[in-house]
Amino acid sequence: MQTEAVYSSDLAFNLEIWKRELKFHRSELEMFQQKLEEIARRKDGKQSSYELEKFQNRLIIEKVAASKLLHRCRAKLGNLHSADHYKNVDGELQYEKRSLYDDLKHYIKLHYEFKEGIMDFFLKWL
């Protein structure tokens, strides 16, 4: 059985990439918010109101989730920066990284499902 060494420099690289992706998602959510507000100003009846409110609520949830994940990435990076970047990372950090990775993976899946839905909504109302 072959084991793979995990180095703190590898984890730091992953965390930096994840931070960038989460920041991109947050900026994307801001653009979605602006478009939803534009649609709300020219609201075309009750059908758009229901969908609009649904997307606005989901957008708030997405922003909170992205912020929490970004905070976790920053906290993990803070812990890693004080470590030797070429020492093998102990099992606890590997476990924590995997948990964060799983949470990010789940968030990204949900984000792209949300994005697909809101883009369909925009096509319908813009």
Backbone phi, then psi, for 114, in 5-degree steps? Answer: -60, -45
Where are the domains positioned within the chain? Answer: 8-125
Number of Cβ atoms within 10 Å of the Cβ of 5: 8
pLDDT tens digit sequence for 60-116: 999 999 999 999 999 988 887 776 545 555 555 555 556 889 999 999 999 999 999
Q: What confidence category does residue 4 fall into, taking pLDDT thresholds of 50, 70 and 90? A: very low
Q: What is d(CA 113, CA 123) in angstroms, rounded to the nearest whole number?
A: 16
